[in-house]
Amino acid sequence: MVLSAAEVERIVDDGVQALAVAGKRVLLLVPDGTRSCPLDSLFRLLHSRLAKDVAQLDVMFALGTHAPMDRPAMYRRLGITAEQHAQEFAGVQLFNHAWDDPTALMEVGVLPATRLAELSEGRFAMDVRVTCNRRLRDYDLLLVVGPVFPHEVAGFSGGNKYLFPGVSGPEVLHVFHWLGALLTNREIIGAKWTPVRRVIDAAAAMVGVARAAFCMVVDGSGLAGLYHGTPEEAWSAAADHSARVHVRYTGRQFHTVLSCAPQMYPDLWTGGKCMYKLEPVVADGGTLILFAPHITEVSTVHGALLRQIGYHTRDYFVAQWPRFAHLPWGVLAHSTHVKGAGTYVDGVERPRVALELATGIPPRVCAEINLGYRDPTTVRTEDYTDREAEGVLCVRRAGEILYRPAPLAT
């Protein structure tokens, strides 16, 4: 059931009243275009409730390591025009996060080795610098406004994830992404309390600026739920709701899965979600076809490095760790999440499933990065539709709904 406009307004009013924002400088942390949510309508609502009372209201796109947005893309995401920005929303500054620009970052502390060992359940024991966007110190309140979905690294997205990795520097970002890779996508995605989430929350607590959140549970173009409170409180309620809305149980696995990526994923770096969300229902030895003719790049940000290392299973990297330890761990994590589970024994890598790219990435590059290729012009979605009984599944809009054969054991 989708919330009515009146219900959404009531929830926003209740949340804003609890914030006591009069005279404060407020920064909204919001998603880029790779997350589905009615951010435009919620932004307008929040602006109408906040702008008249706060000393400053600005927006930062919590990009993590995604590519920066140009001004037209920012306007589309917020549902406004340049003219409206200059008039109705005058004074609202729009910022991109820059995760790899040291001049844009500040250190807020160090996560000590003993604490990291506790949070990671013994997988890491080292001091880690915690850095984030230096603009955060210019505000009295950081207000997260974003959706919650099952997530391949954190278990569920949203909440403090809009700070880490949303507006994070590289050090802690790389650590918890590789922690998620060690746990593997199949084990962590759709699980609520994970070691990665604990690291994220611990880092967020070090920022030193008050934090709050409106966490959305998206259903189609509307909201099934909207929760406010601290990022921890709002996220927890939204994650419980997301587990009911965004997980499909198929009752079986499939030997062939056609996963169709929507246009909001511009490259394989973001479109990899169409693998993550469906890997659990691909049978051992099966094939997942990622169908996205519009994707022509491996990654607009990390493409050169990914073409150097390729896509491999976790065990491939772990068995040869001295070769890879100096590389950015977040990129290694993406590589193994896309490749999926598998083994590496006696120098032979055996992925559990085959991933074929039916994209605009040419066959030569697919071979170079250790992924299969299928000519996208030969793929017709109707050939894969309504064939579940034969072991064939077609998902026409993949990337946000998690597919599992059966509920996780508790």
Last residue of a domain, one of 225, 245, 265: 245
The mean pLDDT of 2-23, rounded to a whole number, is 96
Name which of 82, 99, 32, 84 is nearest 59 in CA terms.
32
Tell me, yes or no, whether 78 and 117 share the same domain.
yes
410 found inside a domain: no
Predicted pLDDT at 36: 85
Phi-psi region of 64 (alpha: psi -120 to 50; beta: other; left: phi over 0): left
pLDDT in tens, 351-375: 999 999 999 999 999 999 999 999 9
Tell me, yes or no, whether 209 and 331 share the same domain.
no
Q: DSSP for 311-356?
A: ---HHHHHHTHHHHTTS-HHHHHHHHHHH-SEEEETTEEEESSEEE
CATH value at residue 311: 3.90.226.30
176 found inside a domain: yes
Name which of 255, 196, 193 is nearest 408 in CA terms.
193
Please check whether residue 117 is in contact with residue 124, taking contact to mean a CB–CB distance below 8 angstroms: yes
Sheet with 354-359: strands ordered across: 372-373, 354-359, 282-292, 254-260, 392-395
- How many structural domains compose the chain? 2
Predicted pLDDT at 9: 97
Tell me, yes or no, whether 129 and 271 share the same domain.
no
Tell me, yes or no, whether 327 and 219 share the same domain.
no
Residue that has been written with the tokens 């479109």 in this structure: 271
The pair of structure tokens assigned to 57 is 């209201």
Q: DSSP for 83-150?
A: HHHHTTTTT--EEE--TT-GGGEEEEEEE-HHHHHHHTTTS--S-EEEEEEGGGGG-SEEEEEEE--E
Q: How confident is the model at residue 200 (pLDDT cuts 50, 70, 90)?
A: very high
Tell me, yes or no, whether 229 and 130 share the same domain.
yes
Q: Cα separation of 199 and 301, whole Å?
A: 25
Tell me, yes or no, whether 380 and 255 share the same domain.
yes
Last residue of a domain, one of 245, 279, 307: 245
Last residue of a domain, one of 221, 245, 269: 245
Average model confidence (pLDDT) across the chain: 96
Name which of 356, 353, 329 is nearest 342 in CA terms.
353
Torsion from C-alpha of 75, 166, 156, 6, nearest 10 degrees: -40
Name which of 308, 318, 304, 307 is nearest 349 in CA terms.
318
On the question of pLDDT at 410 being above 70, the answer is no
> Cα dist. 73→64, 162, 315, 336 in Å?
16, 19, 39, 30
| End-to-end CA separation in angstroms for the chain | 27
Please check whether residue 369 is in contact with residue 356, taking contact to mean a CB–CB distance below 8 angstroms: no
Sheet with 25-30: strands ordered across: 94-96, 56-61, 25-30, 141-147, 210-219, 222-229
pLDDT in tens, 126-151: 999 999 999 999 999 999 999 999 99
Predicted pLDDT at 372: 98
Other beta carbons within 10 angstroms of residue 138's beta carbon come to 12
The mean pLDDT of 42-63, rounded to a whole number, is 97
CATH value at residue 187: 3.40.50.11440
The letter for the amino acid at 147 is P
Q: Give the range of the structural domain holding residue 191, as residue numbers without chain letter.
A: 5-245
pLDDT in tens, 249-287: 999 999 999 999 999 999 999 999 999 999 999 999 999
On the question of pLDDT at 378 being above 80, the answer is yes
Predicted pLDDT at 1: 83
Q: Look at residue 209 and give its three-state secondary structure.
A: coil
Q: Cα separation of 324 and 52, whole Å?
A: 52
Tell me, yes or no, whether 255 and 238 share the same domain.
no
